A and B are shown apart, each in its own frame.
Chain A
């Protein structure tokens, strides 16, 4: 045995992959249907987090899932999954994927589909997979092609969870589920994350419920990663500061306010969403915002300075940004 080859440490990887982040992107570029969906994206998703992947349609969320699942290579830069090249033999057994269109064999029955999962995955947990299917009231003998879209989602999710993966990549998992199934499946996912430390990355459009489920948010828009950080930290870092200006035409914000994401003006009342406020001097009031409001502000202002864990804001625009939203004075 040559010392360089080392023992082939099957699929649960070496020491490096045991501590490697769930996802690590460096200069990641993804082509969308027309042009770049994401350019030069660098972020890290730590292990054991439940990550909300948020962004408008066409912002590269599904492409990111496809690249992480190893279906296609990144168009630029590098994405590492659990410390490995996506789709490599070391990582395939460790990730469970739910694609947006839920690819399943239409002529298979639900039982045959689960049997496929059992046959093709060494760590298969039949009880976990059946629990999902039972939760959704999907009959085992039914043909997959005859199921409703919600039921198909359940079967696809059962297949992903039955693998007992270390990382779950879920593309809009709740989009076509009724409230009852949504609650049941969310519960199952949260239990999986809590009991096994499974990292869950799920793309979603429902921002209002994001903070209930996710503890990490990855926001992408207009080809950039805007936020990649802890949800609590994101909430704590942003403040809505209200100023009252002496005259409508007067310059509004003190220059040392902080990184301004968005400003609104209504007559002499001037509000600014500020990230890392440095000083609240002169402010009439300061309030915190919901995660949804913060994310929407970033989505409205995709040129805003990004908030990415582990990186510094070197491209922060100066206070009183040009992309502020002026409300017409009455």
Chain B
């Protein structure tokens, strides 16, 4: 076995045939995903228009910001609530759905039906077959992710730039939207696409391993959720935050569009603590208590607004690395698989 004859590199016809097989096997799922992505993108574009209109309306209704304004200015506009609150759970659980419903059946369905033997006994290698399946469904997922991520990124971009604008419109954006826009990080830009592709590859690898659709769907949902949660936990530790200190127990002002990580108190030796055991009371009493605990000031830890994009690319790179590892696993494992 020292000379290993290889199947010739796939011709255009072979590659097209494998791609056609990969598309046809999951054509209903592929078409559904693309149709849903188009609908979601149309809705997101409409919602962007609503958002801008709502904030402009707010700017004219509440010209003085939150202070000295009619009671209507106390309520967050509906479009802002939709974009900043209600849109988040669907975006958060979208990778879970992609991993379970698109990724898990990719290999598990054909292995469960036994139809993989149809492809495995033609003049193509199992690896070429697996590459075609991963690429076609990966391409569909990437296209759908782009369709959805682009308008969501536009939301984020509009909000971020609105909040740094000057004049009444800037005030309106700052007053009507929540402090931080960092929750958008995994849903926008390259990270938005990478997270969905990661979910797809996770589901595909688990389906190839388990060979049963139902168990693959269940485990893919759980593992995708765990991966997303893990990344969320990891994200604040990826870049060095900025620590702003003051020499009193009053916290420094928060920077617009920064990610506020945590806050606490500083000791005379420069060490930081988050705990502060002083009962609420008069200003002098609080000062006295703080001094008795050797607290000399306070701090806040932030990721600066300009760290958003580097962190997003770092997040994307982590996703792409895991995708590459999972895809490699698939291509190695498919060659070693034993079936009846």
- Contact residues of A with B, CB < 8 Å? 4-6, 8-11, 13, 62-63, 66, 69-73, 84-85, 88-90, 92-93, 95-97, 99, 101, 103-108, 112, 115-123, 159, 163
Do most interface residues of chain B lie in helix, strand or loop, or is the interface mixed? loop
Question: In the complex, which residues of chain B have a beta carbon less than 8 angstroms from the beta carbon of A93?
Answer: 7, 123
**Residues A119 and B114 in contact in the complex (CB < 8 Å), given A88-B5, A89-B7, A163-B123:** no
* A84 CA to B1 CA, complexed, in Å: 9
**Residues A105 and B5 in contact in the complex (CB < 8 Å), given A92-B123, A117-B122, A163-B122:** no
Asked if A104 and B5 make an inter-chain contact with CB atoms under 8 angstroms apart, the answer reads no
**Residues A112 and B24 in contact in the complex (CB < 8 Å), given A71-B338, A92-B121, A120-B14:** yes
* A123 CA to B16 CA, complexed, in Å: 17
**Residues A69 and B125 in contact in the complex (CB < 8 Å), given A4-B2, A90-B5, A103-B113:** no
Q: Least Cβ distance of B246 to chain A in Å?
A: 67
B334 close to A (CB within 8 Å) = no
**Residues A119 and B338 in contact in the complex (CB < 8 Å), given A11-B5, A11-B123, A93-B7:** no
Asked if A97 and B121 make an inter-chain contact with CB atoms under 8 angstroms apart, the answer reads yes
Question: Which residue of B20, B27, B118, B338 contacts A103 across the interface (Cβ within 8 Å)?
Answer: B118
* A11 CA to B3 CA, complexed, in Å: 13
* A115 CA to B19 CA, complexed, in Å: 13
Q: Which residue of A lies closest to B125 (CB)?
A: A89
Question: In the complex, which residues of chain A have a beta carbon less than 8 angstroms from the beta carbon of B135?
Answer: none
Question: In the complex, which residues of chain B have a beta carbon less than 8 angstroms from the beta carbon of A88?
Answer: 4-5
Asked if A105 and B24 make an inter-chain contact with CB atoms under 8 angstroms apart, the answer reads yes
Question: In the complex, which residues of chain B have a beta carbon less than 8 angstroms from the beta carbon of A108?
Answer: 24
Closest 3 interchain pairs by CB? A119-B17, A93-B123, A120-B122
Question: In the complex, which residues of chain B have a beta carbon less than 8 angstroms from the beta carbon of A89?
Answer: 4-7, 125
* A163 CA to B7 CA, complexed, in Å: 15
Asked if B340 and A71 make an inter-chain contact with CB atoms under 8 angstroms apart, the answer reads yes
Q: By CB atoms of chain A within 10 A, which of B13, B27, B121 has the most?
A: B121
* A9 CA to B114 CA, complexed, in Å: 32
Question: Which residue of B18, B25, B340 contacts A105 across the interface (Cβ within 8 Å)?
Answer: B25
Question: Quick one: CB contact mask for B308-340 with A, threshold 8 Å, 1 for yes?
Answer: 000000000000000000000000000000111
Question: In the complex, which residues of chain A have a beta carbon less than 8 angstroms from the beta carbon of B17?
Answer: 115-116, 118-120
Asked if B6 and A116 make an inter-chain contact with CB atoms under 8 angstroms apart, the answer reads no
Q: Least Cβ distance of A159 to chain B in Å?
A: 8
A-B pair number, CB within 8 angstroms: 109
Asked if A116 and B121 make an inter-chain contact with CB atoms under 8 angstroms apart, the answer reads no
Asked if B2 and A69 make an inter-chain contact with CB atoms under 8 angstroms apart, the answer reads no
Question: In the complex, which residues of chain A have a beta carbon less than 8 angstroms from the beta carbon of B122?
Answer: 92, 116-117, 120-121, 163
* A118 CA to B13 CA, complexed, in Å: 9
Q: Which residue of B lies closest to A99 (CB)?
A: B117
B115 close to A (CB within 8 Å) = yes
Number of interface residues of B (CB under 8 A): 35
* A104 CA to B115 CA, complexed, in Å: 6
Question: In the complex, which residues of chain A have a beta carbon less than 8 angstroms from the beta carbon of B8?
Answer: 10-11, 122
Q: Least Cβ distance of B10 to chain A in Å?
A: 9
Q: Least Cβ distance of B159 to chain A in Å?
A: 45
**Residues A71 and B123 in contact in the complex (CB < 8 Å), given A6-B3, A89-B7, A119-B13:** no
Beyond contacts A92-B122, A104-B115: 8 other A-B pairs, Cβ-Cβ < 8 A, are A66-B339, A85-B1, A92-B123, A92-B124, A105-B25, A117-B122, A120-B119, A121-B122
Question: Which residue of A11, A104, A117 contacts B7 across the interface (Cβ within 8 Å)?
Answer: A11
Question: In the complex, which residues of chain A have a beta carbon less than 8 angstroms from the beta carbon of B20?
Answer: 115-116, 119
Asked if B121 and A104 make an inter-chain contact with CB atoms under 8 angstroms apart, the answer reads no
Question: In the complex, which residues of chain A have a beta carbon less than 8 angstroms from the beta carbon of B16?
Answer: 119
**Residues A92 and B21 in contact in the complex (CB < 8 Å), given A10-B5, A10-B8:** no
* A71 CA to B16 CA, complexed, in Å: 24
Asked if B123 and A120 make an inter-chain contact with CB atoms under 8 angstroms apart, the answer reads yes
B120 close to A (CB within 8 Å) = yes
Question: Which residue of A13, A92, A101, A105 contacts B125 across the interface (Cβ within 8 Å)?
Answer: A92
Asked if A121 and B123 make an inter-chain contact with CB atoms under 8 angstroms apart, the answer reads yes
* A4 CA to B116 CA, complexed, in Å: 35
Q: Which residue of A lies closest to B2 (CB)?
A: A4
Question: In the complex, which residues of chain A have a beta carbon less than 8 angstroms from the beta carbon of B14?
Answer: 119-120, 122
Question: Which residue of B4, B116, B123 contacts A122 across the interface (Cβ within 8 Å)?
Answer: B123
Q: Least Cβ distance of B5 to chain A in Å?
A: 4
Question: In the complex, which residues of chain B have a beta carbon less than 8 angstroms from the beta carbon of A11?
Answer: 5, 7-8, 123
Question: Quick one: CB contact mask for B113-146 with A, threshold 8 Å, 1 for yes?
Answer: 1111111111111000000000000000000000
Question: In the complex, which residues of chain A have a beta carbon less than 8 angstroms from the beta carbon of B123?
Answer: 11, 92-93, 120-123, 163
Q: Least Cβ distance of A83 to chain B in Å?
A: 11
22 interchain pairs, CB-CB under 8 A: A4-B2, A11-B7, A69-B120, A70-B121, A72-B339, A84-B5, A88-B4, A89-B4, A89-B6, A93-B123, A97-B121, A103-B113, A103-B114, A103-B115, A105-B25, A112-B24, A119-B13, A119-B18, A122-B8, A122-B123, A123-B123, A163-B122
Asked if A92 and B7 make an inter-chain contact with CB atoms under 8 angstroms apart, the answer reads yes
Q: Which residue of B lies closest to A75 (CB)?
A: B338
* A6 CA to B2 CA, complexed, in Å: 11
Q: Which residue of B lies closest to A92 (CB)?
A: B123
Asked if B18 and A120 make an inter-chain contact with CB atoms under 8 angstroms apart, the answer reads yes
Q: Which residue of B lies closest to A69 (CB)?
A: B121
* A69 CA to B20 CA, complexed, in Å: 24
* A93 CA to B21 CA, complexed, in Å: 18
Question: In the complex, which residues of chain B have a beta carbon less than 8 angstroms from the beta carbon of A118?
Answer: 17
Q: By CB atoms of chain B within 10 A, which of A84, A104, A116, A163 has the most?
A: A116
Q: Which residue of A lies closest to B124 (CB)?
A: A120
Q: Least Cβ distance of A1 to chain B in Å?
A: 13
Q: Which residue of A lies closest to B122 (CB)?
A: A120
* A159 CA to B123 CA, complexed, in Å: 12
Question: In the complex, which residues of chain B have a beta carbon less than 8 angstroms from the beta carbon of A103?
Answer: 113-118
* A73 CA to B336 CA, complexed, in Å: 9
* A62 CA to B117 CA, complexed, in Å: 14
